[in-house]
Amino acid sequence: MVQETFIRFYKTIKKKNDFPNVPGFLITVARNLCLNHKRNKKMKVDPEDVYLESKQEPDYENKELMELIIMSLEFLGDIYRRSFILREFEGLKYKEIAKKEDITVANAKLRVTRARKKIIKVLKPYIKDINKSV
């Protein structure tokens, strides 16, 4: 921060700008740089980088739900099925899916999202039955 403060001071002086209060200018620049650094340093996590792994064996309901999801893949078009499988079963990131499918990252996200919505629509009655039995 200190180096950047003096670099900015040097660039400003080089432009032949005069400052009646040099210490005030230096403090203001240093303060703003520190605040910007603090703001930008906040933890930013891309949702696609977060994977939760379960160490427990899946219970009966989860196995049944997984079987239903696999069966519902038949209702998806090929492009949506491939993207969904690459994302959910193989754990690829959207960038990797886009490269593998030769599409844009936005298109990869769109395909996975549409596949999820279609699967949810197909499985809605089954999910209700599973929840009633629990």
Q: Please write the tens of the pLDDT for every residue from 25-44.
A: 788 888 888 888 777 776 55
- CATH number, domain of 65, equals 1.10.10.10
Question: By residue range, what is the domain housing residue 88?
Answer: 58-133
User: In degrees to the nearest 10, what's the CA dihedral of 77, 78, 83, 85?
Assistant: 100
pLDDT band at 103 (very low <50, low <70, confident <90, very high): very high
- Residue 84 located in a structural domain: yes
Question: Any idea what DSSP says for residue 58?
Answer: P
Pair (30, 85) in one structural domain:
no
pLDDT band at 132 (very low <50, low <70, confident <90, very high): low
- Residue 49 located in a structural domain: no
Tens digit of pLDDT for each residue in 105-120?
A: 999 999 999 988 888 8
Pair (80, 107) in one structural domain:
yes
pLDDT band at 74 (very low <50, low <70, confident <90, very high): confident
pLDDT exceeds 50 at position 53: no
Question: Any idea what DSSP says for residue 15?
Answer: T
Pair (31, 62) in one structural domain:
no
- Residue 89 located in a structural domain: yes
- Residue 50 located in a structural domain: no
- Residue 10 located in a structural domain: yes
Q: pLDDT: is 60 or 84 the higher one?
A: 84
Task: Look at the chain and report how many structural domains it folds into.
Answer: 2
Q: How many CB atoms lie within 10 A of CB 115?
A: 24
- Residue 126 located in a structural domain: yes
